[in-house]
C-alpha cells in the first residue's frame, strides 16, 4: 500500500528566496517605470513536483497581500519593486500570526510603526532575507534568533503556518480559487488578481476517487505572482523579480518511507527460534509543527511472534534513550484480540532530530507455539503527522489522541494497525513483491504402511533428531498424527515420540490432522538435516526391524514458500526408499510423503541391499544354530 504525503518548503528558506516565489516586496528605492495596476489581469500559479506526486490533488489559493504599487521593465518582463498591503479581511488574523511568529523568534512583538495595520507588508519587507534587521533565519539547528528545533524553520515559516491555521483564513478556503491536478508533475491554480497568496493542498477535503491514492495535506505554500497588464490590444507580462521567476512554486515531496528486513546470519525460523529484524526510515520534514507523531509499528501478519524487549534505536548513528527519547508498547492487540503488535514511538524526540538523518531500529522476535502456517510474515506500518493545521496536542504519549489529528495509533477499519487521522505507509513484509521480512519454517509428511498390501498402519511411533546438534527434537501435539516443534524444548508437556494417525484414537487436540491411518505431519522445523527413526512398530508388527532415514528440509528453489525435501534410503532394512524431491502436495502415496514400510516377519525383508545382507546373516545364524543343535543331538545319541 503506497500513500503520498506532499509537503513543501515554500516560504521557509532564505536561500531559496521562498522557493523562487517571493520577492523583496516593499523595497523603498523603487526603480524603473511605474506599472498601472488598474489594468492588471488575472494570474496563474503553477505548482511543480519533480517526484510526480500531484495527480488527483486539489489545491486552493487565498490572497493575503494586495499589490499596491509596482515598478518594472517591460522589455525584460522584470519587476524591480512591489509594495504590499494586507488583505483587509485577514488583517486581524495576520496581526496575531505576526505576533506569534515574533514570540517564537524571541524578538519584540511590537508593531513596526512603518507598517501600521499592514502585517503582511512588514513580513514581506523584513523576513525575506533582504533587509538588514530581523531578516528571516533558517537552518537545521537552533540559534538565538530562531531557537526552534524544526528542520528548515524560520520566522516566515512560522507566520505562514499561524496565519493559514486561523479561522479567518480557513473560512476563505471553500470560496477560493481551486483546481484538481490532472498531471502528476504540475498543477495550476488561476487567481483573479496579482498579489501574495497562500496555497494549500486541500485534497483531504476532496471527495473524488479519481486516483485511488490516500489524500494528504501539505504544509501551506507562500507564493507571489507576477503582474500582467493589458491596454487595448497590448499585453505586458512581468514574470520575474530580478532574476527570480514568479507565479510558481516547486513542491518538495516528503513521503516518509519505511523498510523492514531480516538481518544477520543466525535467524532461526523454527518454532522457538529467534528472528532479527531491522526497521529503517529517516527523519521527516517537521516544518511548522509544534508536536509531531512518528511511530513505527511492527505488524505481524499472524500470531506466533513474541517481541523480546531488546530494541535499540539510533538516529544519525546516535543511540536514543528508551522512555526519554522513545517508547515501546508491546501490549496492543488487533480488534479480535488475536495478535499483539509492537509500537515504537519516536514522537517524544522527533522534533529534535536532523531532517533526513537515518532512523534504525533493531530488535528480535521469538517464534512461539502459536505460529501457524509455514510463512512467518511480519510487516511494518509507519504512522506520522501530516497536517500542520491539525497538530497533535502532545508528544504522542497520551492514549487515545486521534480524532482531530492528534495521532495516537488506532485501528480505523477491522483488522489493520493504521493511524486514522495521520498519514501512514505500510510495508507488508512477505508480500509477493517484498520477501525481505518473511521467513519460513518447514514440515515433512510421512506415511507408515504395511509392506504386504501398502495400506496405512496406525500405532507406530517415530522420533526426529537434529543432525546439527545431535539432539532429539521435542514436539507439541496439535492434532492426531500432527505435531509441531515445541518452543520450549525443556517442557514436560512436549513429547519426543510422534505417533502416526489412528482413526480409532480419541481426538483430544485440534489442528491440521492427516486424513487416514498411518500418516504423520511434522512441522515447525528450520531448514536443515534431520534423522527420522521408527521407535515403536504398530501392534502386531515386528519391533526388530525399525527403519530410519535422513531428511533434508529446504524451500523450493523457485517458490520459497513451498517446502521441498529429500530423504535417503533406509540403509539397514531397505524399508524406506530414497526420494529426490518431495513437495508440499496432498499427503498421499504418489509423491507427497516419505513412505515407511513395516513387516511382521523376517521373510518380508527385501532380498537386496542392506536388508538382504541382514537376511543372509539371519539365515547363517539360523543354520549355525541348527548345526549346533544337530551336533548336540548326535553326541547324545552316541552316548
Instruction: Determine whether 628 is exposed, middle or buried from the number of CB atoms within 10 Å of its CB (0-12, 13-18, 19+).
Output: exposed
Check residue 440 and give its pLDDT.
86
Comparison of pLDDT for 36 and 608, the residue scoring more = 36
- Rounded to an integer, the average pLDDT of 408-423 is 36
Could you give the C-alpha distances from 131 to 97, 124, 328, in angstroms and in order? Answer: 20, 10, 47
The SS3 of residue 91 is helix
The Cα–Cα gap between 64 and 8 comes to 19
| pLDDT digit string, tens, across residues 447-474 | 998 887 888 889 899 999 999 999 999 9
Tell me, what's the pLDDT at 248?
87
Question: DSSP 3-state assignment of 32?
Answer: coil
Looking only at the bridges linking them, the beta strands covering 318-319 and 312-315 are antiparallel
pLDDT tens for each residue of 301-354: 567 888 999 999 999 999 999 999 999 988 876 555 556 778 899 988 998 888
pLDDT value, residue 419: 37
Q: How far is the C-alpha of 368 from the C-alpha of 488, rounded, in Å?
A: 9
Using DSSP, state whether 134 is helix, strand or coil.
coil
Q: CA 520, 523, 525, 531: dihedral to nearest 10 degrees?
A: 0
pLDDT exceeds 50 at position 537: yes
pLDDT of residue 258: 84
Q: How confident is the model at residue 552 (pLDDT cuts 50, 70, 90)?
A: very high
Out of 249-263, 360-374, 420-434, 590-604, the most confident range is 360-374
Highest mean pLDDT among 126-140, 370-384, 566-580: 566-580
397-434 burial code (b ≥16 CB/10 A, e <16) = eeeebbeebbbbbbeeeeebbbbbbbbbbbbbbbeeeb
Read off the pLDDT of residues 387-414 as tens digits, 9 standing for 90 and up: 666 666 665 434 333 333 333 333 333 3
Place of cell 483488522: 415
* Whole-angstrom distance, CA of residue 328 vs CA of residue 320: 12
Beta strands 312-315 and 461-466 are unpaired
Higher pLDDT: 455 or 561? It is: 455
Q: How many CB atoms lie within 10 A of CB 8?
A: 24
What is the 3 state secondary structure string of 323-337?
Answer: CCCEEEEEEEECCCC
Higher pLDDT, residue 518 or 285: 518
- Given a cut of 60, whether residue 217 has pLDDT beyond it is no
Higher pLDDT, 154 or 597: 597
Give pLDDT, residue 509.
Answer: 61
DSSP string of 524-560, one letter each residue: EEPSEEEEEEEEEPPTTS-SS---EEEEEEEE-SS-T
pLDDT bucket at 230, cuts 50 / 70 / 90: very high
**Would you place residue 242 in the very low, low, confident or very high pLDDT band (cuts 50, 70, 90)?**
confident
The helix/strand/coil state of 67 is strand
What is the predicted pLDDT for the residue at 361?
97
Q: Which band of pLDDT confidence, cut at 50, 70 and 90, is reported for residue 8?
A: very low
- Asked if 127 and 11 touch (Cβ cutoff 8 Å), the reply is no
637: pLDDT confidence band, cut at 50, 70 and 90? low
- Per-residue pLDDT at 191 exceeds 50: yes
β-pairing, 358-367 vs 305-307, is antiparallel
Q: Which residues have CB under 8 Å from 572's CB, separation 6+?
A: 547, 548, 610, 611, 614
Predicted local distance difference test score (pLDDT) of residue 147:
42
Q: Which residues of 554-590 are buried (b: 16+ CB within 10 A; e: fewer)?
A: bbeeeebbebbbbbbbbebbbbbeebeebebeebeee
Backbone phi, then psi, for 275, in 5-degree steps?
-115, 135
pLDDT at residue 91 above 90? yes
The pLDDT value given to residue 392? 67
Query: Best-predicted range by mean pLDDT among 296-310, 382-396, 575-589?
Result: 296-310
Global pTM reads: 0.67
Q: Which of 377, 387, 390, 383 is nearest to 412 (CA)?
A: 383
Q: Is the dihedral of CA 597, 600, 604, 609 positive or negative?
A: positive
Whether the Cβ atoms of residue 12 and residue 153 lie closer than 8 Å to each other: yes
Amino acid at each position: 500500500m503506497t500513500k503520498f504525503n506532499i509537503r513543501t518548503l515554500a516560504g521557509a528558506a532564505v536561500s531559496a528566496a521562498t522557493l523562487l516565489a517571493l520577492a523583496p516586496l516593499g523595497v523603498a528605492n523603487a526603480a524603473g517605470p511605474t506599472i498601472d495596476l488598474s489594468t492588471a489581469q488575472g494570474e496563474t500559479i503553477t505548482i511543480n513536483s519533480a517526484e510526480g506526486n500531484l495527480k488527483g490533488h486539489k489545491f486552493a489559493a487565498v490572497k493575503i497581500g494586495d499589490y499596491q504599487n509596482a515598478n518594472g521593465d517591460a522589455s525584460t518582463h522584470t519587476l524591480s519593486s512591489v509594495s504590499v498591503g494586507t488583505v483587509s479581511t485577514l488583517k486581524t488574523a495576520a496581526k496575531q500570526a505576526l505576533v506569534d511568529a515574533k514570540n517564537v523568534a524571541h524578538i519584540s512583538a511590537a508593531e513596526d510603526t512603518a507598517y501600521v495595520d499592514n502585517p503582511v507588508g512588514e513580513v514581506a519587507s523584513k523576513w525575506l532575507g533582504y533587509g538588514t534587521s530581523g531578516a528571516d533565519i533558517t537552518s537545521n539547528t537552533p540559534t538565538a534568533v530562531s531557537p526552534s528545533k524544526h528542520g528548515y524553520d524560520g520566522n516566515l515559516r512560522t507566520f505562514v503556518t499561524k496565519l493559514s491555521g486561523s479561522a479567518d483564513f480557513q473560512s476563505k478556503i471553500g470560496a477560493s480559487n481551486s483546481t484538481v491536478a490532472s498531471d502528476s508533475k504540475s498543477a495550476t491554480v488561476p487567481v483573479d488578481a496579482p498579489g501574495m497568496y497562500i496555497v494549500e493542498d486541500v485534497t483531504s477535503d476532496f471527495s473524488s476517487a479519481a486516483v485511488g491514492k490516500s489524500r494528504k495535506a501539505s504544509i501551506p505554500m507562500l507564493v507571489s505572482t507576477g503582474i500582467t497588464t493589458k491596454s487595448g490590444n497590448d499585453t505586458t507580462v512581468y514574470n520575474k523579480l530580478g532574476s527570480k521567476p514568479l507565479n510558481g512554486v516547486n513542491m518538495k515531496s516528503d513521503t516518509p518511507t519505511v523498510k523492514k528486513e531480516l538481518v544477520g546470519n543466525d535467524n532461526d525460523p523454527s518454532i522457538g527460534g529467534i528472528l532479527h529484524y531491522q526497521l529503517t526510515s529517516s527523519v521527516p520534514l517537521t516544518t511548522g509543527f509544534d508536536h509531531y507523531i512518528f511511530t513505527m509499528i511492527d505488524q505481524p501478519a499472524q500470531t506466533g511472534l513474541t517481541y523480546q524487549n531488546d530494541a535499540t534505536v539510533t538516529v544519525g548513528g546516535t543511540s536514543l534513550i528508551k522512555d526519554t527519547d522513545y517508547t515501546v508498547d508491546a501490549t496492543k492487540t488487533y480488534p479480535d484480540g488475536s495478535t499483539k503488535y509492537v509500537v515504537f514511538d519516536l514522537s517524544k524526540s522527533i522534533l529534535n532530530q536532523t531532517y533526513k538523518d537515518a532512523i534504525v531500529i533493531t530488535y528480535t522476535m521469538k517464534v512461539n507455539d502459536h505460529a501457524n502456517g509455514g510463512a512467518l510474515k511480519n510487516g511494518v506500518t509507519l504512522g506520522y503527522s501530516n497536517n500542520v493545521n491539525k497538530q497533535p496536542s502532545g508528544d504522542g504519549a497520551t492514549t487515545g489522541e486521534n480524532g482531530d489529528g492528534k495521532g495516537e495509533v488506532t485501528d480505523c477499519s477491522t483488522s489493520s494497525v493504521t493511524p486514522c487521522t495521520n498519514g501512514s505507509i505500510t510495508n507488508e513484509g512477505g508480500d509477493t513483491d517484498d520477501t525481505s521480512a518473511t521467513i519460513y519454517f518447514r514440515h515433512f509428511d510421512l506415511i507408515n504402511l504395511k509392506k504386504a498390501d501398502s495400506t496405512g498402519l496406525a500405532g507406530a511411533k517415530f522420533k526426529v533428531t537434529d543432525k546439527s546438534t545431535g539432539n532429539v527434537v521435542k514436539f507439541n501435539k496439535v492434532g492426531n498424527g500432527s505435531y509441531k516443534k515445541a518452543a520450549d524444548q525443556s517442557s514436560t508437556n512436549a513429547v519426543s515420540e510422534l505417533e502416526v494417525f489412528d482413526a480409532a484414537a480419541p481426538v483430544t487436540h485440534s489442528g491440521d490432522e492427516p486424513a487416514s491411518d498411518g500418516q504423520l505431519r511434522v512441522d515447525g522445523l528450520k531448514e536443515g538435516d534431520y534423522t527420522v527413526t521408527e521407535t515403536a512398530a504398530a501392534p502386531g508388527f515386528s519391533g526388530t526391524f525399525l527403519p530410519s532415514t535422513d531428511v533434508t528440509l529446504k524451500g523450493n528453489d523457485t517458490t520459497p514458500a513451498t517446502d521441498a525435501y529429500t530423504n535417503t534410503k533406509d540403509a539397514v532394512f531397505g524399508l524406506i526408499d530414497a526420494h529426490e524431491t518431495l513437495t508440499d502436495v496432498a499427503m498421499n502415496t504418489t509423491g507427497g510423503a516419505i513412505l515407511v514400510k513395516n513387516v511382521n516377519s523376517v521373510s518380508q525383508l527385501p532380498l537386496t541391499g542392506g536388508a538382504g545382507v541382514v537376511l543372509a546373516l539371519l539365515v547363517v545364524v539360523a543354520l549355525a544354530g541348527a548345526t549346533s543343535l544337530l551336533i548336540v543331538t548326535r553326541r547324545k545319541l552316541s552316548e
